[in-house]
Structure 1
């Protein structure tokens, strides 16, 4: 059934009126039957599937049959699904699902959980109607249960919260559209990511999950928790959100995500099957039963056992036949006084039993970084691995948000307009795959990394058509529009062709809800240009010589000799247009000759040890980095009122440009690193270190997935007494957007353009790892060294930007919060040959446009604006400040939905969970109730995200 809120239909929220799933029913619908749930348990949608009976007087062992299916790692997504290239790894996801569905039908006691919606979505589309009916029946009965439910199982260190929310929404929506309430996951399940972020737990809690289970945590932390029986806890995942909004019950799985030793019965395993014929000499039932369990480090009389592993259950009969026997023979001993009860179960059913135990659980308020699995094996290298892919993923996120917004603002002609058929779905799915814990993390094989990048490029090609259509609708100009993909290396054929193009227009679309000022650098061959805005006002501009490092990076892909530099100002959720005319078609002035200085140094960690650095692990062979070059060549360029630049060369393969744009208080560092030389036989990890006189006293601060900030302390963990074995790698943490050090007077904040690793090894110092090239595999499964060949096969050259601010601590958030959002959601530039504003269609062309009536308040961020279906739009509004972070902005703030858009009328609004798969008022988590719907006036508290489904009409 569907329920409406304020005249908004919600076709994807099937079954939301119904109380229960888990009993016999027709395949197409959920049952309204209410199960007995016990004291204190909800009887509404959060009451779980019909769970197997347990025995209160016994130790109940919950067997959870599962498979862990990486959405790319050693093979590509397609290769994993089809079972291709099994010489790399034997894995075929389609056969896993085929086999499991077949085996579940043979015994109603059997259970299975599935996680990766990207794979299930593909499999489901290929099934017959009869198979779909069978699967729906299994889901309705609670025997096939979806856990986690995102498009992938995302990485937690190198992902940005906005992309995580998007990929979760993508997967959850498919499950909801397909199976209704019965398909809604209740438990988050991150059994493989390499460390766990607090912001992820906060997101899961706000999406309505009852609990969270994972497999990896630091070996010292795990030993302490096992000893004190604190393997399960309540994670308070926000310092700003009022409990229990971001509280999440969290458990560490006893065997990671593998079965207990000796109990793997997959075709990929070598463990002995259960041999239960007593007439045969290899009868082993007694032996297997006796060594089955050792679970004294958990608090209740329930224990969860993960029965499965990577890509297992391709022949599900092997697993189920042996588990059937295990359950039979272990439980048979109860007649002889045994207190062990084994049953098929799911994480949701296990969690329900823990909830019913009504115990007091320890509280967790920090995160689970960094992760180490042994004394010298810190998984902190992947914070930086594959820096170019990390940047491409971040830029793709910005492009996807722009694509989604313009689909809404441009209306129906956006997807089917003058430039053809465009869509945002292809990009959404590509970005969903890119969040996988072996994708943006940089821990995949090289050919898989290429595949991730190819998917993002294909997704953007579909979005490009949509963006062209939408901008044509909004501007009234159908002139061809081009996008320059390589502006970071000064390549753009249209702007470089000065002899053929006397003038051109540049459209700047701003996806943020506030006006932005943004520096633009266009490759040109003339020496003097005129830049005017839509009102005909001249904009200050200057042509600067193209740097040597840029020439080396682009090689023969462009021929510009200079860069035209000027500032643009774009309206909130809108665009503006600039006209660029060439005045002098002659080469720009050459660069000044370099001089020498010793004021700044870039440094390198060399990797060479028995445990080498690799895609995952960072293991330098010294606590002190070696300096590439103690002197740097300096090239000073001062540009009128537009920009001042200093270029520094530390070696032929490391350079940096220090820039200060007029009107901006932040300092920009543009770094270029590579190809990293390896002829000396050493792998290298390049860092940039910023030394100050700030008395940071071993404290520094990093963001969690781009949102809340966590305090870090050198050689310290809040949860246990750390025995530090790696003074460098053991102090590295992930950053997604910013990090800082501070004292009472000053705060140095660094804003990054991608996810990277960061630390503060010395007082007053902040170091960021920029690039890695290594010669050895680190023995964690990827099977090849992290040595990216680059486009010309001599090694990857990476380029990026850091923004630095120095402010008093009480003013810092007001500066770095908008800077960080601006780096994540960058303006999109598009170009047209000539100026449509000067043609005969002047009266129908719009040089500027804003989708908002007014700019959003500084504390409010428009996180999501995307077309949901034909008649409704999904919107998320976010308070982007933490409590007590800003004297000015850390206050509740109210936004009126009806006064939000300039060209769209809001007819109805329905508040939803963060994952957009439940109505907010129907969210009913275990023991915690949330929900306070407001039709038009939306009040946001610090760090709060509110999600709405809006019914809109184009004005």
Structure 2
């Protein structure tokens, strides 16, 4: 028989055209008719009425909210359905996350949040075993690797480049084994993957939702409009058309779509008839057998055929839906929200760590509840119409507000931790104050205090030295470190370009106080900042400023320190060259701002496709932002700690090039906006790095969600003959943390690190470009219904500020830098401030001014990815055991570094506030013990004929529950996840 697995499902966006609340309750139906609560209300009775029926549910952000409103009887009924496999959870994340703009840390966390809910409420029967990424706009290899490590048996997705899909249909290659980490993790990261034939909607003509226009099944012969015969034959044809593109005698059909099944009865009544009458044809020789099913049931049947499948190790970016229509604009859409999400994730990790280290959480505590609010807010934002930037403006505002509320709750947790960790005795710790706008030199607290304390917490397992910049009002300051020693500081005037940013309204700061801090691993250092009455008392030194138009400047212009020299164009203000002084490497490097005109059109066909929130489409070549630097007040600033070149490219763009002492990179802080649209042109603003000397050919490299590095080749796809209809958009890829080019002849690598996800490419040999901000006038007709035209506090175009770290080094030495810098950028130190009502010496006698949660640093190639309180409270077995969730990862790939790519060993006895009593290893998502993992095995043909069929296994064996190890080992790129019980030492 040809078994046709009918999968009733709904796809419920966790925010898109409406906010997540509006979608749940069904409000604002003038925007879109959708009410998720009614879907679940309607589906459950239908399942209870008929044991043959099935349904899958995906988005736990919605299900958890619905579940919390149900009474005991409904919960018992739902648990019965779950236990019988008739209501199946697939994917299981808080949302169906985007795969291009998301960082691996946040991706793992949002799935863990959903898994934890399902495990606590439903136990083993609620565990998802299938990935279901049916709507994201392109797919990441790192996501596939994660799904395999979650314990999933397979993955299904809906969107595939139209050329790729045509090729796969012709080759019957719609299902394959995806090798998520062939170089590092081997079999552990391999995942059976299927591309859905009908995207994720029903076959044409067979949508039976109450809002669909397709004809129902009319089978009463007494009626004039009976259509059963034609409907059966039409469906049999649909089945045969699909089956010819698949290898097995099983095919899957998605029976549902966006926010469907509010009236589940209409769906199930018609599906019942379809199943009945199509299967009756078997008596006439038909081999078609329809059944209610789920993706895991379908996978199980495929697996038992014991076929050999094709394989791939590529990702699926960028996605094109037709000619001229590449969905690579969303890699950079809503750059401010993308940056806010990254910083919010940073703060969440800080708060979770402090919660554990200070032992704040009892079975139910304010810390647990506060962190839940922030976790759920950040989980919602990872949605594929959230952090992607493809939502309506009011929804983007709602996401940002949720992050702001969650951040405030998180800060309360951090403050409570410092109340325990700071005092030496019975002394009460001062209240902590947090400043969220220091990136635009605004902190109301520090601007109005003559003296204060600053506590810097380091969430990394390694000692960190970093420079801080604090907005202040006075002219002279004395800075004292945790041991009472004076700290050299530099006074840096706040630039006019920064003062223009409308969100700074209310700031009176004139300077930033810059100094270096040193913070121990998983610990904090407290510094004292005191206004000085005159220069002799101060440890701060003024900066020297020379305008670029001054006759005092030497030609050529440059800034330099012990690490780098940056040569400047004395006419245009762009950079002209970079020199790594320690490696004696010099290249010409012209860096500046350019823009593409965004294509406008009615989107009626590919040639009229407009650039919008999803799609990137440029008209003509890039255009240089006007070179008016000399006239606009650009200047060079020098001092003891930092050298800066302030470059103004016009009213729409400026940047600061910084060289901090002893830092092995060049920092470029870019500010773009408000983008001018008075000329009726939408614009795509890029920053371009043009070496004009490096021979890099068509190759460049980008990261996958902040982890592994993928090779990109311009105008090329590995698995099909690529016809590129858009030379810019068709070569853009997601850059989550870094992009680089290599000149192998001269052993040079130029790497650009990003502080948020951006689209990037190398469109000519020796160049890199990153799309940093967009302001558009047309909708691209993919549903959002409005142009991407963000405005700021003053109603003008939004101003966005971000950072790039630029590294010029040898090819072999670059990985050790970009790996450690990527870690420091997304897990940056957290600053809080408090009043100082005594002398620093008195404060040091009352407070622990420097403290660490570790006795010594972790190995240089190891990162503690997760440390958080963990609850095992379950509706099945309601027993609370205080535990923690802890993850360690190896941050290097194989062969990247002769030393740091070697296996690493972590000492588990080095924590200062607790001792691990028992420890059990879990899957990456922490929802079941690794020792119980029994994934379906799949045989495949390597996608490279030269590769061996042998499968590499990781050397480690799962740590059982009863074990109390003192060390654990990590292989390159491996993440190991543990649930541990503790003996508290604090």
Q: Under a length normalisation based on structure 2, what TM-score does the superposition of the two structures give?
A: 0.89
> Match for residue 892 of structure 2?
881
Alpha-carbon distance, 1:922 to partner? 0.4
Aligned positions of 1:561-600 closer than 5 A: 561-584=510-533, 592-595=546-549, 597-598=571-572, 599=574, 600=591
CA offsets 1:231-256 (integer angstroms, 9 cap, x no match): 00000000333431000000000101
Cα distance between partner residues in 2 of 1:469 and 1:605? 49
Cα distance between partner residues in 2 of 1:760 and 1:207? 34
Secondary structure at the residue paired with 2:5?
Answer: strand
> Match for residue 620 of structure 1?
618
Q: 1:371 to 1:377 in 2, by over 3 A?
A: same
Q: Output the aligned Cα RMSD.
A: 1.8
> Match for residue 163 of structure 1?
106
Cα distance between partner residues in 2 of 1:837 and 1:951? 41
Alpha-carbon distance, 1:461 to partner? 1.2
The reply on whether 1:219 has 2:216 as its aligned counterpart is no
Contact 1:542 1:639 in 2 (8 A): no
Cα distance between partner residues in 2 of 1:696 and 1:172? 44
Alpha-carbon distance, 1:517 to partner? 1.5
Q: 1:614 to 1:925 in 2, by over 3 A?
A: same
Alpha-carbon distance, 1:584 to partner? 4.4
Cα distance between partner residues in 2 of 1:422 and 1:227? 53
Secondary structure at the residue paired with 2:106?
Answer: helix
Cα distance between partner residues in 1 of 2:259 and 2:360? 41
CA offsets 1:314-346 (integer angstroms, 9 cap, x no match): 000010000000000100000000111111000
Cα distance between partner residues in 2 of 1:140 and 1:774? 49
> Match for residue 514 of structure 1?
462
Alpha-carbon distance, 1:714 to partner? 0.3
CA offsets 1:816-865 (integer angstroms, 9 cap, x no match): 11101111011110111216774767544100111011101111000000
Cα distance between partner residues in 1 of 2:840 and 2:702? 49
> Match for residue 394 of structure 2?
447
> Match for residue 9 of structure 1?
none
Cα distance between partner residues in 1 of 2:81 and 2:245? 34
Contact 1:257 1:308 in 2 (8 A): yes
Aligned match of 2:262 in 302, 305, 314? 314
Cα distance between partner residues in 2 of 1:591 and 1:284? 83
CA offsets 1:422-446 (integer angstroms, 9 cap, x no match): 7211111111101100110000000
Alpha-carbon distance, 1:145 to partner? 0.4
> Match for residue 364 of structure 1?
312
Contact 1:524 1:562 in 2 (8 A): yes
Alpha-carbon distance, 1:421 to partner? 9.1
The reply on whether 1:548 has 2:502 as its aligned counterpart is no
Cα distance between partner residues in 2 of 1:837 and 1:248? 61
CA offsets 1:903-922 (integer angstroms, 9 cap, x no match): 21111111111000010100
Cα distance between partner residues in 1 of 2:166 and 2:803? 40
CA offsets 1:876-930 (integer angstroms, 9 cap, x no match): 0000001111112111111122x23122111111111100001010011012799
> Match for residue 302 of structure 1?
250
Alpha-carbon distance, 1:632 to partner? 2.7
Cα distance between partner residues in 2 of 1:638 and 1:838? 31
The reply on whether 1:784 has 2:809 as its aligned counterpart is no
The reply on whether 1:940 has 2:891 as its aligned counterpart is no
Q: 1:836 to 1:373 in 2, by over 3 A?
A: farther
With 819-828 and 278-287 compared, the bigger mean Cα shift is at 278-287
Q: 1:350 to 1:882 in 2, by over 3 A?
A: same
Cα distance between partner residues in 1 of 2:723 and 2:885? 48
Cα distance between partner residues in 2 of 1:685 and 1:713? 23
The reply on whether 1:423 has 2:370 as its aligned counterpart is yes
Secondary structure at the residue paired with 2:273?
Answer: helix
Q: 1:585 to 1:68 in 2, by over 3 A?
A: farther
Secondary structure at the residue paired with 2:156?
Answer: strand
Secondary structure at the residue paired with 1:924?
Answer: coil
Contact 1:836 1:845 in 2 (8 A): no
> Match for residue 77 of structure 2?
134
Aligned length: 892
> Match for residue 697 of structure 1?
697
Cα distance between partner residues in 1 of 2:266 and 2:792? 44
Secondary structure at the residue paired with 1:120?
Answer: helix
Alpha-carbon distance, 1:796 to partner? 0.6
Contact 2:521 2:854 in 1 (8 A): yes
CA offsets 1:789-821 (integer angstroms, 9 cap, x no match): 222211110000000001101011100111011
Aligned positions of 1:831-850 closer than 5 A: 831-834=833-836, 838=840, 842-850=844-852
Aligned positions of 1:528-543 closer than 5 A: 528-543=476-491
Aligned match of 2:864 in 853, 856, 862? 862
Alpha-carbon distance, 1:465 to partner? 0.9
Aligned positions of 1:93-132 closer than 5 A: 93-132=36-75
The reply on whether 1:391 has 2:356 as its aligned counterpart is no
Aligned positions of 1:476-515 closer than 5 A: 476=423, 477-497=428-448, 501-515=449-463
Alpha-carbon distance, 1:652 to partner? 1.1
Aligned positions of 1:48-197 closer than 5 A: 58-197=1-140
Contact 2:341 2:381 in 1 (8 A): yes
Aligned match of 2:181 in 229, 233, 238? 238
The reply on whether 1:923 has 2:933 as its aligned counterpart is yes
With 282-291 and 569-578 compared, the bigger mean Cα shift is at 282-291
> Match for residue 25 of structure 1?
none
Aligned match of 2:219 in 256, 269, 276? 276
The reply on whether 1:602 has 2:593 as its aligned counterpart is yes
Contact 1:699 1:713 in 2 (8 A): yes
Q: Under a length normalisation based on structure 1, what TM-score does the superposition of the two structures give?
A: 0.91
With 647-656 and 624-633 compared, the bigger mean Cα shift is at 624-633
Q: 1:765 to 1:639 in 2, by over 3 A?
A: same
Q: 1:494 to 1:588 in 2, by over 3 A?
A: farther
Contact 2:158 2:195 in 1 (8 A): yes
Contact 2:466 2:516 in 1 (8 A): yes
Alpha-carbon distance, 1:280 to partner? 2.3
Contact 1:414 1:467 in 2 (8 A): no
Alpha-carbon distance, 1:787 to partner? 0.2
Cα distance between partner residues in 1 of 2:833 and 2:359? 22
Cα distance between partner residues in 2 of 1:231 and 1:720? 14
Cα distance between partner residues in 1 of 2:639 and 2:793? 36
Aligned match of 2:149 in 206, 210, 215? 206
> Match for residue 508 of structure 2?
559
Contact 1:406 1:414 in 2 (8 A): no
Alpha-carbon distance, 1:281 to partner? 2.7
With 543-552 and 773-782 compared, the bigger mean Cα shift is at 543-552
Q: 1:110 to 1:413 in 2, by over 3 A?
A: closer
Cα distance between partner residues in 1 of 2:164 and 2:323? 12
Secondary structure at the residue paired with 1:656?
Answer: strand
> Match for residue 908 of structure 1?
918
Alpha-carbon distance, 1:102 to partner? 1.0
> Match for residue 707 of structure 1?
707
With 483-492 and 422-431 compared, the bigger mean Cα shift is at 422-431
The reply on whether 1:247 has 2:200 as its aligned counterpart is no
Cα distance between partner residues in 1 of 2:369 and 2:124? 31
Secondary structure at the residue paired with 1:689?
Answer: strand
Alpha-carbon distance, 1:550 to partner? 0.7
Cα distance between partner residues in 2 of 1:430 and 1:833? 31
CA offsets 1:119-148 (integer angstroms, 9 cap, x no match): 000000111100111101111111000000
Secondary structure at the residue paired with 2:304?
Answer: helix
Q: 1:422 to 1:226 in 2, by over 3 A?
A: closer
Contact 2:361 2:367 in 1 (8 A): no
